[in-house]
Structure 1
Amino acid sequence: MLGPGGSGISAVAVGGALGLADAHRPQRRGGPLAAVDAARTLLVTVDPRSTLPQRLGVFRVAGEPVAVTGELDLLHLDPLQVLEQAWTDFTAALDAAGVGRKLLPVVGTIAGVDAGELTGLPGAQEFLLLRAVRDAATSGRWQSVVVDLSGVGDPYALLRSPTVLAAAIDRLWPRNVRLAQASEKPALAQVAAAVESIDRDCRDLRELLADPTGAAVHLVVPAGGRGQSTLPDHLALAEVMGLPLRSILVNAGPGALDTDAVAAQARTLLGGDADRAVRVGVVAAHDVEPGKLPQLRRLDVRLSAPDGHARGAAAPVVEHVGGGGLEARYRLRWRQTLPRPEDLVLGRSGDDLLVTVSGFRQPVPLPSVLRRCQVTGADFDGDELMVHFQPDPALWPQR
């Protein structure tokens, strides 16, 4: 659950989690209730100052799930606590290598950093938060997990953090070099294993977040002019990241705000995907801000389940548009919202196409045939972004 700040994301997330929990509640059918111990819902907040514990009437216990109802639990993750615990475990593994500091100087530098000093390390908190969420989601304790991302400054940067961290690791200590050094110098094996574990978690998180069969993204936007102005940018970022968007929820909030204009705008931007692949819904207005469990339950939010269909840059189409050999021409296209097409910036880094949309840069992995090609141009037809390629003579196989 994400969207522009102040959109009431937390309230809608609670409403959605309660809706899932109600759907999991066992039904009496002329006999005893069926046992559904695993059919529980987990609501996760990553905001260190979240008011959800008070609003739901439970104790604030960071890092431990707390029962809210018979079918719903709340997990409050404190970013600093998650960071410090994970870093303590990691540096303990580095320090245990001992002699590895002499063989690889950066190991000594990293191991000497205190956990409290990492608050400004780009991507550290974001990656570790996502890993903690992943661990909860794959634990088998809950059938559904709803993650409220309203407590982070930039939810898209958080979701991109595994990609950023994996790229940084590969630059600092490339995987082929890492594995070779670990095999040649047994003292580095433990260090390499610790780094390999983080790299593996990065890849796992990237796959999990982009998996349309297991994950669903719900974009919450406010009604009125603010919703209309922010919706195109948020939809553009979701598409360039290939997030499995399943619904756009227009939150009217307290008072009788008109939601029709924002809902209509969402359907226009989505085109043929509206209400088919991506549901456009409205969270009805209430007289007061829902602050207690009974009020939050009355929001009656229904979250669409994953549908297995990738969107945006996660569902690219590669076309051979003409020519052969070094004169061949290819086109890569995907559905992409561009609020300001003139601000689109394309770049290249290794096997990734760097796409900058609405001030946000996202690496888009290139299909294998295009990795040996050069970018020759790009077009936007109002619905799809099309990037043109031609073989790079230095890389294209010669017959």
Structure 2
Amino acid sequence: MFVGKGGVGKTTLAAATAAARARAGQRVLIASLDQAHSLGDAFGFRFPHDAGTIAGIATVAPNLELVELDSLALLEDRFADVVRLLAADSRHRHDGIDPAALDPAELTGLPGVQELLVLVEVAQYVAEERYDLVVLDCPPTADMLRIVTAPDTLLGYLSRIWPEHDRALSRGGTDLRRAVLAGTVDRIVAAITEVRDLLADPARTGARLVTLPERLSAAESARVRSAAALLGLRLDAVLVNKVLPPVPPVPDLAAAHPAVRWYLGLRAEQLAVLDELRGAMPEVPVLVTEHRGAEPVGADALAALSVPLPPPPMLGENPAEGNGPVVRWESGTGLESVYTLRMRLPVVDPATLRLGRVEDELIVGADGVRRRVPLAPVLRRCTVDGAELGDGALVVRFRPDPQEWPR
């Protein structure tokens, strides 16, 4: 996943990685989730965009395929399928329900619908195992964070509106329509859960943040790093684009042309920003792509631009190395026990940290992002005893609730 705000060259670097991997012999699909859809431009390729249709997958080079995912077109297509299915079902009456009376555009206001359709489509590409690598050119940062949180948001809505145990009763009941509806919701939950698990799996999914060597962009990068940790998304690297290349030494800078002094001054500022980025996130590789002058277009030019990344760290041997919460017993026995929930959280502004609890979920917010963290069974019988933030991690302590703890 390539993330970054507009204008940083995110699409170009995503295309460069895809082209280089394809040239190395991997089967690669690069999918654009950005509704600006400049991916085709990067390859010098124009997708057919007929109104009301979904653009298919196109081959632009050996081992390299492209697709631009239009969330509204997906919504219209999937909704039309549902309407046709219900219209063909002559055995049951759908009293009071006329799906054909709705317009797909009216559903775009429902939280997460468009984002989820795009993610489900991507998860299907991964499940097909046709590709060794699926590269996602994501929308600007704020929109991407909303997309990543969409699965948990929708699963939370469904769990509160129609809990799983109630759906199980409906599936085994005598009301056929209710049983069919429960089965449909179960399939939706399964698809969303698959997407959520794919995004949070550090062995399968990683994000690469594209930014510029500017202080404002670097500050945003630090907040994105915090959000990625909170959401359980592995951040592979920060790619700093359009860094000015070095020039031969200038013997007498004072006598040099003003353009030379300007160039050297700007490059010095950029190098200072790079040093600050590396100091702020020592665990994340900060890699540089030099300014090439001419914009690279086409698979060959893009492959030459690609920046090789170091291999990702080995995960899985120690759960604390991942982004997910880790629960441990700390001290005491029985009602005097103390348990901790620890999660990596390199917060930029500690004043933005917010904690809350709703039933069996801990609500954690920081740097403008919020996540609902399901509590482990042992913690559901506990009350929050305190929390501390330090060394890039949040630690929440729990003590047994005498009313809930088994005797």
TM more than 0.5: yes
Establish whether residue 75 from structure 1 lines up as the match of residue 71 from structure 2: no
- State how many pairs are aligned: 375
Deviation at 1:200, TM superposition (A): 0.4
Mapped pair 1:40 → 2:46 = no
> How far is 1:228 from its partner?
2.2
The answer to whether residue 213 in structure 2 is matched with residue 202 in structure 1 is no
Structure 1 counterpart of 2:183: 193
Pick closer, same or farther for the CA change 1:91–1:354 going to 2, 3 Å: farther
Alpha-carbon separation, structure 1, partners of 2:213 and 2:145: 21
Q: Unpaired runs of 5+ in structure 1?
A: 25-38
**Is the counterpart of residue 298 in structure 1 residue 304 in structure 2?**
yes
Q: 1:352 aligns with which of 326, 336, 361?
A: 361
- Mark the runs of 5 or more structure 2 residues left unpaired by the alignment: 49-53, 246-262
Instruction: Report if the CA contact (8 A) 1:250-1:259 is conserved.
Output: no
- How many angstroms does 1:380 deviate by? 1.2
1:54 maps to a residue whose letter is D
* 2:5–2:141 Cα contact (<8 Å) kept: no
Of 286-295 and 178-187, the range deviating more from structure 2: 286-295
Q: Which residue of 1 aligns with 2:201?
A: 211
Give CA-to-partner distance per residue, 1:3-58, whole Å, 9 cap, x none: 2333211111011111211221xxxxxxxxxxxxxx41111002233122133122
Larger radius of gyration: 2
Q: Which residue of the partner structure matches residue 287 of structure 1?
A: 293
Q: Which residue of the partner structure matches residue 113 of structure 2? A: 124
Q: Which residue of 1 aligns with 2:122?
A: 133
Q: 1:320 aligns with which of 324, 329, 339?
A: 329
Pairs within 5 Å for 1:328-343: 328-343=337-352
Q: Which of 137, 147, 159 matches 1:158?
A: 147
1:295-331 Cα deviation digits (max 9, x unpaired): 4333123355655527887333323232322222222
Whole-angstrom CA distance in 1 between matches of 2:75 and 2:348:
36
TM-score by length of 1: 0.85
Q: Look up the match of 1:29.
A: none
Q: What percent of counterpart residues are identical?
A: 32
Q: Cα gap change, 1:303/1:286 in structure 2, threshold over 3 Å: closer, same or farther? A: same
- What is aligned with 2:387? 378
Q: How does 1:37-186 map to 2 (within 5 A)?
A: 39-61=26-48, 62-92=54-84, 96=89, 99=92, 101=94, 108=97, 113-150=102-139, 153-184=142-173, 185-186=175-176
Name the residue aligned to 1:14. Answer: 15
Alpha carbons 2:227, 2:369 under 8 Å: kept: yes
Change (3 A) 1:151 1:381: closer
Alpha-carbon distance between aligned partners in 2 of 1:394 and 1:92, rounded to the nearest angstrom: 53
Pair 355,189 (structure 1): closer, same or farther in 2 beyond 3 Å: same
* Residues 179-232 of structure 1 deviation map (CA, whole Å, 9 limit, x = unaligned): 212321223232222211111011111111111121121111211212321121
Question: Given the superposition, is the C-alpha separation of residues 153 and 170 from structure 1 closer, same or farther in structure 2, using an over 3 Å criterion?
Answer: same
CA distance in 2 between partners of 1:244 and 1:201 (Å): 21
Does structure 2 retain, via aligned residues, the 8 Å contact 1:16–1:303? Answer: no
Q: CA deviation at 1:122?
A: 0.9
- Structure 1 residue 159: Cα displacement: 1.1
Q: 1: distance between equivalents of 2:314 and 2:243? A: 31
Cα contact 1:240–1:336 (8 A) shared by 2 = yes
Secondary structure, counterpart of 2:171 in structure 1: helix
Q: CA deviation at 1:289?
A: 3.5
Do the aligned partners of residues 139 and 307 (structure 1) sit closer, same or farther apart at CA in structure 2, a change above 3 Å counting? farther
